[in-house]
Amino acid sequence: MARWTAILEAAGIRATTQRLRVLEVLAAHPLPISAQRIHTVLQDSGENVGLTTVYRTLSSMTEVGLIHAFTHAGESVYRLCGPARHHHLVCRVCGLVTERQEEDVVGGFRAEEVYGVCAACER
């Protein structure tokens, strides 16, 4: 919990219990997860947190770059991001996201998200 507190505070976000719990849920899920699912996980674990609070928390963390929002199957999903500058390779089939550190600049643009099909789904 101290690790998450330090990360939030370094990003300029006050470390409340609810924000820390949202980070814990994100950290426990390897694939991006929706706000609804985060809310359900928190409710199932006995946390009294509203869905609006989950959305506000995700929004503030996205704004400062702690997490990244993706669209998968028509729904916004969220994932913890590493601190270094990177872009994302996103599988259109299963939603797997892989971070890449390389600076790929094509035609003056740096890729932030590249969509394709991962090796597992390709098989």
pLDDT tens column, 61-70: 999 988 988 8
Q: What is the pLDDT of residue 108?
A: 67
More confident residue, 75 or 51: 51
Which residue, chain included where needed, has tokens 């259109």? 92
DSSP 74: T
- Confidence tier at 2 by pLDDT (50, 70, 90): confident
Q: Which amino acid is at 54?
A: V
Give the N- to C-terminal CA distance of the chain in Å, as an integer. Answer: 39
Check pLDDT > 70 for residue 32.
yes
Tokens of 8: 């939030």
**Cα separation of 86 and 79, whole Å?**
14
Quick one: average pLDDT of 23-47?
A: 94
This model's pTM is above 0.85 = no
Q: Quick one: 21 exposed, middle or buried, by C-beta within 10 A (0-12, 13-18, 19+)?
A: buried
In terms of average pLDDT, the best of 29-33, 55-59, 86-90, 103-107 is: 55-59
Determine the average pLDDT of the residues in 48-58: 95
| Average pLDDT of every residue of the chain | 86
Burial class (CB in 10 A: 0-12, 13-18, 19+), 9: exposed
Residue 97 pLDDT: 81
> Do residues 123 and 94 make contact, with C-beta atoms less than 8 angstroms apart?
no
Would you mind telling me the total number of residues written for the chain in this entry?
A: 123
Strands (E), 28-82: 33-34, 67-72, 75-80
pLDDT at 92: 85
CB half-sphere exposure, 1, CA atoms < 13 A: 7
